[in-house]
Amino acid sequence: MPVYYLEFLVVALGLVLLMADAFAKLEDKRSLARLGVLGLAVIFCLLFIVKAPEAAEGGIWRFYAAPDKLSLFFKGLALLSTILVLIMAIDYAPIVVAQTANPEEGAHPQAGLGEFFALPLFACAGLMWMSSANHLVSIFVSLETVSITFYILVAYLRRNVGSLEAGVKYLILGALSTGFLVYGFAWLFGITGSMELGAITEALGKDSVNPTAALFAFALILIALAFKLGAAPFHLWIPDVYQGAPTPVTAFLSVGSKAAATMVTLRLVSPFLASAPLVGKITAVLVVVAVLTLLVGNLAALPQRNFKRLLAYSSIGHSGFLLMALAAAPRESVENALSSSTVIAFYLGAYLLMTLLAFLVLSSLRSAISGEEIDSYRGLAKRSPLHAAALLVAMASLAGIPLTAGFFGKFFAFKMAIDAGQWWLLAAALVAAAAGFYYYLKIAVSMYFSDPAKGDETAIRLSPLTGIAMVVLMILIVVAGIAPGVIVGLFS
Amino acid sequence: MSTLELLVFLPLLAALAVGLGAPARFTALGASVLVLLFAVYCAINFNASQEGGMQFASSRTLLEMPGFPKLSLAFGLDGISLVLLLLSGLVLVAAVFLAPQESAIKGSARLYYLSLLLIGGGAIGAFTATDLFFLYAFHELALIPTFLMIGIFGHGEGRVRTAWTITIFLGVGSLVLLVGLILAVGALGGTTFDVASLTALAKGSPIAESTQSWIFLLLFIGFGILVSLFPFHSWAAPAYAEAPAPVAMLHAGVLKKFGLYGLIRLAMPLAPAGAERWMNLVLVLLLGNILYIGLVTIAQKRLDRMLGYSSVMHMGYAFLGIAAGNVIGVSGAVLLMFAHGLSIALLFGLAGWMRDQFGTLDIDRFGGIAKPMPRLGLLFGFAAFASIGLPGFANFAAEVEIFFGAFAGEDLAMTWIRWATIGALWGVVISAVYMLRAYRHLFMGPKPDKLVTPADLSWETRLPLLLLLVALLAVGFAPELLNQFIRPAVNGLFTAMAG
């Protein structure tokens, strides 16, 4: 089975959900999401039996890279995060219903819920395509597929001003960054005369390349990518959008969208890094962006009181570590060094597990705990030990405490910086990691050290599907923290 | 599964079982007694005549990736880790035994025992791991529950603040340590995390001296913070005073020794030239521990804080033994880790019991309780004598070895370390002053009228404490019991690193 069937299957599944929403008489539309989870799980299993498209196929599939293990790994990440986002969406459904209520007589009480479950699938298809894109047009179209779906999802709660505000902010800034990206692509095409990454790499490697034009193209592309990644100084939208969007969408944004943006960054920056005349300046720019992102993300997270906002800054901080792995890419002269793609893939895998675990807890608590302030999680350990334990594991891993997956992610990135001799980058990363300890542990403190607020002491219910997902993620985080080989083996 | 893997994972699995709903106290006690039995089994089957090399070794490769050192889940025992393993087993049993009964910990007994098991398992893992990553990671694993326990079950209003202080201090210490370790592994080729291979590499092709100097400084400060080296000691006394007694026993008695263990196992062999370079700094700081903190200890008015400072102070002797850099000095340091671990655990155990019973530990409010409570008086007296280092207790044997080691040498020149040793000797006097003064105030003299004395120690409380005391006396009368394991291991270490 050729690998691009997977994307078709995901799109088809999305269409099935939309049709079922429109035409089937469903009592409870949450069964759509369960169907989606099931379908995606099947497609996830298919990942392990796909094969490369035949070389003879050529033609239209030229823009689709032959699947290596790395792109399959990213497709797996996309599928896995969509599955978990749908599970979150099931828990979150009552809030969506309340915030999109339809005043018309005779409307289905859950009208408007169906699309909330179907849209993530289209984003997922875009993400999967992106991991195989090797052509500027294909990169652009897949990136926009994802972004446009997100514009809708972020603004989904139409009776909620916060969600609408987030949607508008995201749309305007997103459109602007798309402009930068396309303009950058145009310059890149002008310089190299090709849209294919292979040919672009070759053209940029030549001494005859015009460095000013190439650097200009790079700057334009980097601005667009920094926006998508949430890298400083283009990170300003992140906290507001993360806070305003529905929690499952925030989770999807912070994992799916980040994985996609990182993947594209890796694809688009690699040709520049491979070019001998440009690499010095490109590295310098990347180091500056990485240092800024590390410091801004982690230091700004320190005073946050809203949990989602805190996670937004933490997501910026993690972009910093991802960029660090890119900025410290080994020169060709270094033998036997960690490669950026390995480190980034591992980091993203670990990041997916821990971030989704945190959001899973958040969205499953949303109906029991009204506020999103950190203080509203006081005494959680007494009300629901499993939620508290899951959040503790997620926070420990995000902070990078040993024996969790997050530790190795950071460790690999540090190792790369040391090998590359990037001492400023290393210093910034140390400060960032130390700050991370503080603000992640602050949440543990509020869960474990204080008693629940008065009148709020009831135990919290947990749906079985969410409970299973939480336990599985916890186990995966710890296993990957003891034997990182289990993740590394998936892509190398 | 090899013996040691079983030993390390036993408390961790027991913690998991407790978390999932097994009867908390029963599981925790069962697991810790099994750990102690396993440790004794290892000691009996240990080949004491083997110099260097690990026994009961096992290894599983977990990650092999170009550009990254090989990572394996590897365990092994030599004489040093065997002694620390025995110490961990003894203190773990005592701590779990002394943990308050389920009813007293209002609903959170599960979390309480789970944390104790995690601390114990982490410490055992750290002392038996032969892979640098796991050596480091297991120690971190033990720190997280320590922090949680102080914040949740600690005494006094300031517990959350104290929990934060200890987290920040130890977190920064661990981070400094991590940087030092990464630098060391990188400087040695960055192909392996195996401690023995790293030691061999450091001997075969030593790291450049300027790099060594940096590495040693980072490791010394990192480990030093963990051992409450002067001037990074300020976290220790409040933390021990406010921690629940079993946590204070486990941390001061066992976990803190990780820093010393790391200095012996890693800092000295990997960066010997760096160690020489910074020797005078080490001497100054350890005198700070012994003399300055010793005087601070005398000034304390609360028993728990006094014990906390005394445990900081005694770390100075261990540093002196390590600084001596010869077989007898380092062996003495290892023996002191064992002896001090037991005696401080004994004292914290007693102090915790007294705090529960009397509701206060202000020394001024006590007096003359030896008469109504003779068992407490006797046991506390033994513990205090052990802590001072009177002959007959393991502490005496250890301190004598350290002083001999530090003063060793054939010529009569007064080197820096000899001056430091003379200064350190005064520490014995200081500790006698504060311990005996505290004992007199607490147990002798007239009993204040307001003081209500509870019933004397019951047998459930005495049993775990007697276990510690018997071990202290046994090793005190026959230090060879442990020295037979320690000496060959230290010898092996020096052969492995001698240039």
Query: What is the model's pLDDT at position A56?
Result: 47
B108 chain-A contacts, CB cut-off 8 A: 382
Contact A418/B62, CB-based, under 8 Å?
no
Minimum mean pLDDT among A86-90, A125-129, A443-447, B437-441: which range?
A: A443-447
- pLDDT, tens digit, 9 for 90 and up, residues A443-472: 888 888 777 777 666 777 788 888 999 999
pTM of the model: 0.88
What mean pLDDT value characterizes chain A?
A: 87
User: Do the Cβ atoms of B19 and A438 come within 8 Å?
Assistant: no
Which pLDDT band, with edges at 50, 70 and 90, does A371 fall under? confident
Tell me what pLDDT residue A464 has: 87
Distance from the Cα of A361 to chain B's closest Cα (Å) equals: 18
Check CB contact of A190 with chain B, cutoff 8 Å: no
The predicted complex's ipTM stands at 0.83
Tell whether the model's pLDDT for residue A401 goes beyond 50.
Answer: yes
Determine, for residues B68 and A401 on separate chains, whether the beta-carbon distance falls below 8 Å.
Answer: no
The rounded percent of chain A whose pLDDT value lies above 70 is 95
Shortest CA distance from A479: residue in chain B: B62
- Percent of chain A residues topping a pLDDT of 90: 45
A197 touches chain B (CB under 8 A): no
Confidence of residue A333 (pLDDT cuts 50, 70, 90): low
Are B163 and A418 in contact (CB < 8 Å)? no
Test the B interface: residue of A482, A487, A491, A492 with most B CBs within 10 Å: A482
What pLDDT does residue B378 have?
93
A41 vs B20 pLDDT, higher one:
A41
Are B133 and A402 inside 8 Å of each other by CB?
yes
Q: What is the pLDDT of residues A130-156, one digit of tens each?
A: 888 888 998 999 999 999 999 999 999
Q: Report the residue of chain A nearest B158, measured CA to CA.
A: A449
| Minimal C-alpha gap between B455 and chain A (Å) | 33
Q: What does the angle CA A167 – CA A168 – CA A169 come to, to the nearest 5 degrees?
A: 95
- Structure confidence at residue A206 as a pLDDT band (50, 70, 90): confident
Residue A104: pLDDT above 80?
A: no
* pLDDT single digits (tens) A354-368: 999 999 998 888 777
User: For residue B23, what pLDDT is reported?
Assistant: 87
User: Are A484 and B186 within 8 A, CB to CB?
Assistant: no
Q: Kindly identify which residue of chain B lies nearest to residue A330, measuring between CA atoms.
A: B67
User: How far does A360 lie from chain B, in Å, by closest CA?
Assistant: 21
Contact B67 A339 (CB under 8 A): yes
Low-confidence ranges of chain B (pLDDT < 50): none
Q: In the prediction, which pLDDT does A211 show?
A: 87
Q: Give the per-residue pLDDT at A367.
A: 75
Overall average pLDDT of the A67-77 stretch? 85
Terminal-residue alpha carbon distance, chain B: 37
Q: Is A482 on the interface with B (CB under 8 A)?
A: yes
Shortest CA gap B294–chain A (Å): 32
Answer yes or no: is pLDDT of A52 > 70: no
Q: Give the pLDDT of residue B476.
A: 93
The pLDDT tens digits of the residues spanning B143-164 come to 888 988 888 888 878 888 898 8
Q: Are the Cβ atoms of A482 and B133 closer than 8 angstroms?
A: no
Point out the residue among A415, A418, A445 whose CB comes nearest to the CB of B160.
A445
